[in-house]
Amino acid sequence: MGLFWKASDMARKLTARTLWGVVGVSASCPRNAPLRTVVWERRSSREGAPAARARARRPRPKGALATCRRALNERWRLQTWLGEPCRVARLCWPWVWAFARRAIDMRLEDVRHIAVLGGGVMGGGIAQIMAGLGGYRVTVRDLTQEILDETREEVVERKWGVKRAVEKGKLGFDQALRAIENVSYTLDLADIADCDLIIEAVPEKLELKQQVFAELDGIVKADSIFASNTSGFVIAELARDVSVARKANFIGMHFSNPVPVMRMLEVISTEESDPEVAEIAKAVGEKAGRVVSMVKDKPGTYGFILNRVFAAAAREARQIVDDGLATPEDVDKAMITGRNWPAAFFGSRGGIGKQW
């Protein structure tokens, strides 16, 4: 859901169901009170007020804005607690939209320190683009110093590293320097306790990922965003053991491998994910040079856009070979050349090797 529709949906749910609504917040409402303490008047013939009196009322855009601002700041789940459909005067929309945009921008500015859990090729690639292109401070955490040393090699020296990228003209010197200087490596979970965004990139094992997030939940600060780089596990399943409050900050961020070359990023939201958090993840990805697709989590399935489409195509490619219509090499050649796929079904590689 876009920011405009998110904000206007909030306003609609906070105004009267019929005719004009007057929205306000109780002066005695404590800062962390539940949303039910928000007071809103209704002027409607359905409640016994004369229709003429109801029509004489005018919407209060400042009141609607104040209520929405309060809701956005506290990140209350309006859709859950206010169920009945409402209408909002168009006069309120510009006010609500202006604040919603500013609120997202302010949250994006709050993302300064990113943690990557799990090194190697994938974790190193994520750290490289977030530090080099995004300008973020990045901490990579893994279990052994050997893995951390290999990750540092991935970022700097190896095939997709910044050294070769500069030599090939794919990366500026300043960006390469940021990727080297802004990435730190640690064995201690305490070093990522204050990170604003934590991207998990451990091996693709469901129980391992669940264990990692459950452990993190009791260590990192309350407003940190949790993101999994899973290639297909249901995000809600990964968030199973975290606190209820944390689930709103839990999303998926699926990067394509090799990360420095493949610019695609899928941002996956669950039913419990705060839409604002997904928008922040999208903005972070775009700042790091990614092209972002927004995806909804679907229990009972594996994969999001890329892997599900590729799996379907791979099944058809295998059927073509099994039917004797073409060799594996010719199928790969057709997809690499005719569809510009950098990696094909049977192990052949095209565009990736030629780019860097």
Looking at the annotation, which residues are catalytic?
231, 254, 266, 307
What DSSP letter does each residue of 270-337 carry, written as one string? -TTS-HHHHHHHHHHHHHTT-EEEEEE--TT----SHHHHHHHHHHHHHHHHHTTSS-HHHHHHHHHH
What residue ranges in the chain does DSSP mark as E strands?
Answer: 21-23, 40-42, 113-117, 137-141, 183-186, 197-200, 225-228, 250-255, 264-269, 291-296
Asked whether the bond before 258 is cis by omega within 30 degrees of 0, the reply is yes
* Residues 261, 251: Cα–Cα separation, whole Å: 23
* Residues 7, 68: Cα–Cα separation, whole Å: 8
Tokens of 14: 């906070």
Element (H, E) at 177: helix 173-181
C-alpha closest to that of 162 among 131, 123, 198: 131
List beta partners, residue 116.
140, 199
